[in-house]
Each structure stands twice: as C-alpha cells, then as structure tokens.
Amino acid sequence: MSDTPFSILNEDGSCASEYRNIISDDDLMHLIKLILFNRNWDKRMIMLQRQGRLGFYMTSTGEETTIYGACHCLNDNDPVFLSYRELGCLFYRGVEPERILNQLIGNAKDNCKGRQMPIHFTFIEHAIPSVSSPVGTQLPHACGSAYASKYQNTDKVCLAFTGEGTTSEGDFHTALNFSGEFEVPAIFLIRNNGYAISTPETVQTRAKSLAIRGEGYGIPGIQIDGTDILAVVHTMNEAVDRARSQQGPTLIESMTYRIGAHSTADDPTAYRSDDEVQQWQQHDNLKRMIDHAKWRNLWTDEIIHDEEKKADQIINETISSCEGWPPPEVETLFEDVYESLPPHLEEQKSEYEQYLNWKREHEIP
C-alpha cells in the first residue's frame, strides 16, 4: 500500500488522457451543478437554523466530490446506507427539495411523520433506508441488505457511508468481517474528514490508515484522494464491478475535509486552526472539479452565478411551500410502533386524548 492516497487529477486540473473517460463531460458538469445547488442549499439551511426556523442542520461542504462521485457509480435502486452527512445522495437521486425540507422541519408532510431530528432521512422509493444517530449501526445492515441482493438475485450493490470516527465502533468491524465472510456485494465508504466532532483522526487508531484494515477482513481496502473526482469515480466503479460480479465487498477510505462545523450545534474554532481550514479551502473538492472542467474547456465563470440564481429560486419556492404546515397530528405519536395499535397503546392514546380535552375545556394553552 502506498503512503499517499490514490489520485488521478493533477494540481492544475489536468489528467493523463487515458483517464479522461472515467467521467463524461456531461456527467462532470451535471455533478458540479448539483454540488453548486447543494452548497446554496446548505447556506440557506444554516440561515434558517440561525433564524430559529430549523432545529438543527449539518452541511457536507468539502466532501461533496466523494458523496456525488460515489452515487454516480450506482444504479438508482442500489441501496445506500447513509451516515448523516450525505445529503448529496438525495439530490443526486432526485428527491424533491420539498420532501427534504419537510423532513428537516418535521411537519405534517414529512414522510417520517416528524419522528426524527433533521437530516435523519428515509426515502424507500430511492432505496435510502433510515438514518440513525448512533454511529455505525447502518454498516452491518448494509451487509444484510447485500446478502438479500445475492439471495434474491437482484444484482443490487449496497453502498454504506461512514465517517472515520465510526471505524472505531464494533459495528464497523462486524460489518466488514461479516461482509467478507459472506462475500456480499457491499461497498463501505469512509469519509475521512479528519474529525469526529472535535476528536482528530489520530485519536481513533494507531493504524497508519483505515483502508489497510480491509486486509484483515480479506477484502480490498483502498485509500483515495477524496477531492479528486476521477479517483473517486474510478475506485467506486471498480468496487461496483467487483460487487456485481460476485467478488465481494470493498473498503474505500476517501481523504476529505469537513470545511464546515460538525453540525449547527458545533463550534469548530474551539478545536482547529483557521490556517488549517484555509489550506483545505484552497484545496476544496468543488474547486478541483471546476479546475478539471476548465481543463476540459467546459467551464465559464457565469455558471456559478447562473446556478446560484436558479438555486435561489428553487430554494425560495421550497421554503415557502414547506413552512407554515402544522406538525403531524397528535394521534400519529402512537402509530407505527407496531403494525397495528396494541391495547396498551390504545389505552395510553385515549388517556392522553382525555387529558387534551380537559386542557381544552379549561382553556389551558
């Protein structure tokens, strides 16, 4: 294993000609525009949160190349198990912004019925299972889901995202061990963005990389430059081919940087230097994609402005159509715990209804 992550793009945005076909001009521009939209969206969501109109939010600035590049290599029905910083997967798969914002608000139109914090999405029609806060739990689910693909001969490949901090969890180990043992079509993609909230990567392990762990499970482990779209797509394509041709799982460690805060509840200035952030901003993954587009003569500077205008319009419309909806009806609190309402929940529901009636009668707010 080499000491530097696998990369293809040169610093000036060029690449050796044989690598150019890894992604078509159209697809490259499509991804860039999606990421531009995502950044505008992130900016607006942060504003909404600051204004008290959203409870919580998480951005993915600095890691979009890995997220969009990986999704680009899958079929739309391939299950993707998100950790929590992969909103891009939803945009890539065409989830309507309205449905995303309804979840973030947790209103009556949220397809998860307001049951989870913002960012904890589920979109079954886009093969996106439920996001969970305890980190790493989704990784062995991907193994089971991939076992189902093999068992049902559906040819599906399961992609599971995780952060580097999560690789210290038992579920990470179990997922890789089980997936190797059962030779399932799964891909485990670590976004190594340097920090688990405030904890630097160096605190997680003495191992010199996370990708080398693949070897211990008998599966390929590859460390890539996550700011290099060609390296991401090339490596993902190889992993997808391996999975679809029944050669088992792959572990990919994508070296990225979380340019924003962990979440709107975090203040990263308390644990990392401005210099460090600025260095990464200069090496930003979107900037590198744009440099590559320039090298291909696909880029004009108006694109940023045009896309921002388009995004603003969509986001404004989305906000006005999602805000103002009431929260889900109170009775939904008791639904979906089981398939049907068991007697003890029926009782609790009716007791609570009586209490609410009492409150109304006594005009208690």
Write out the two tokens for 181: 């043992």
What's the rounded Cα separation, in Å, for the pair 163 and 196? Answer: 7
50 as an active site residue: the answer is no
CB half-sphere exposure, 247, CA atoms < 13 A? 10
Phi, psi for residue 228 in degrees, rounded to 5: -110, 100
258 as an active site residue: the answer is yes
Q: Is residue 116 at the binding interface for other proteins, with CB under 8 A as the rule? A: yes
Rank residues 14 and 174 by Cβ distance to other proteins and give the closer one: 174
Q: Is residue 94 at the binding interface for other proteins, with CB under 8 A as the rule? A: no
Look at the block and give the residue holding tokens 């919580």. 56
Mask: binding to other proteins, 333-362, rule CB under 8 A, as x and -? --xxxxx--xxx------------------
Mask: binding to other proteins, 290-329, rule CB under 8 A, as x and -? ----------------------------------------
User: In this structure, is the dihedral angle defined by the CA atoms of residues 192, 194, 197 and 202, taken in order, positive or negative?
Assistant: positive
Rank residues 149 and 209 by Cβ distance to other proteins and give the closer one: 149
What's the rounded Cα separation, in Å, for the pair 154 and 59? Answer: 33
What's the rounded Cα separation, in Å, for the pair 130 and 114? Answer: 13
Which residues 173-202 are close enough to bind other proteins by CB under 8 A? 174-175, 177-178, 181
Least distance (Å) from other proteins to the CB of residue 155?
13
188 strand-pairing partners: 160, 251
DSSP for 100-127, please give it.
Answer: HHHHHHT-TT-TTTT-S-TT---BGGGT
Phi, psi for residue 112 in degrees, rounded to 5: -100, 10
Residue of the chain from 152, 153, 245, 297 that contacts other proteins (CB under 8 A): 152
Candidate segments 147-155, 222-230, 264-272, 305-313, binder of other proteins by CB under 8 A = 147-155
Asked if residue 98 lies in contact with residue 322, where contact means CB atoms within 8 angstroms, the answer is yes
120 as an active site residue: the answer is no
Q: How many of the chain's residues bind other proteins (CB under 8 A)?
A: 46
Q: Which residues bind other proteins (CB under 8 A)?
A: 79, 110-113, 115-116, 120, 122-124, 129-130, 132, 134, 137, 139-149, 151-152, 154, 158, 170-171, 174-175, 177-178, 181, 335-339, 342-344
Residues with a catalytic annotation lie at: 258, 262, 271
